[in-house]
Amino acid sequence: MTGASGFVGQNLQKHLKDRPWKALSRNPSGSGLSYAEFWKQNDLSFRHYIHLAGKAHDLKKTSGEQDYWEANYELTRKLYDRFLKDPHAETFIFISSVKACADRVTGWLREETPCAPETVYGKSKRKAEEYLLDNLPEGKRVYILRPCMIHGPGNKGNLNLLYAFAQKGFPYPLAAFTNERSFLSVDNLCWVMLRLMEKDIPSGIYQVADSGVFSTDELIQMMAASLGKPARLLKIPAGLLRAAARVGDRLRLPLTSERLQKLTESYKVSNEKLLKALGDDLPLTARQGFEKTFEAFKG
């Protein structure tokens, strides 16, 4: 497994407690392997390759484009080439992203939606997907998973910002925006990966999302309920907020145009293909997943 020390990797380790596994990283700890050691030792063999490592969005804008290509494409290509040569390897699971297909969505995002990523993050993930799809082997299974926004214990990001509003009793100022978004519990994602190692379904791209969509207002209401507090929703005119966000862009304030878009845009992701292939529902409902996440936020 690559990316074992990341958010998804740490949660996956809990689900792998009864299974032997090996971490592969640049700076391994314990019994892990470094990439350099792994590339040199041609006799090392594994049944399942789980590739979680990669470079996500850099909100601080400190990374260059080459960093994304190295982490998201070159590393994936090199690891996949090793998988193809491994005589005992059966399954390759690559964690891509819905952003490898589209940064903005009209209606529902599906696997057959034409891809047009706009950011170097999305483009580098899409390039890695294309490399895998162009080299699908016989007798082995290759799964490209496109998760939407993942949440769970240890989560960091915009969901934490929303929770802070509810926790401190601040009124949520973006209630004038109406949206519908898909989310993904990290426990459901880990369950999917375990099932893919056990179940023989066709190789290819599968979107991963909890069933159901939520507006940001609904999230605030659920967060407030988990804290035993009333939800405070403030409907400031959308035009005024967009103008404030542009000021935030220049002055590096918490509210920027990018963050405003992420908090208020609609992004609906279909999981129909995955659920049909697995022949089962996800273990947690979307609300159960959020309840677990919000409980972890209380810390």
The residue written with tokens 């599906």 in the block is 110
Residues of the chain with pLDDT under 50: none
Q: In angstroms, rounded to a whole number, what is the distance separating the alpha carbons of residues 123 and 125?
A: 5
pLDDT of residue 31: 76
Q: What is the pLDDT of residue 59?
A: 53
Q: What is the structure's pLDDT at 298?
A: 84
Distance between CA 80 and CA 78 in Å, rounded? 5
pLDDT at 27: 82
What is the pTM assigned to this prediction? 0.93
pLDDT of amino acid 71: 95
Q: Give, in order, the Cα–Cα distances in Å from 201 to each of 48, 142, 143, 197.
A: 15, 10, 9, 10
Tokens for 174, please give them. 């973006």
Residue type, 79: L
Tell me what pLDDT residue 58 has: 58
One-letter identity of residue 15 = H
Predicted confidence at residue 57, as pLDDT, reads 66
Query: Do residues 28 and 5 touch, judged by C-beta distance below 8 A?
Result: no
Look-up: residue for tokens 């309840």? Answer: 291
Q: Quote the CA–CA distance of 129 and 124 in Å, as a whole number.
A: 9
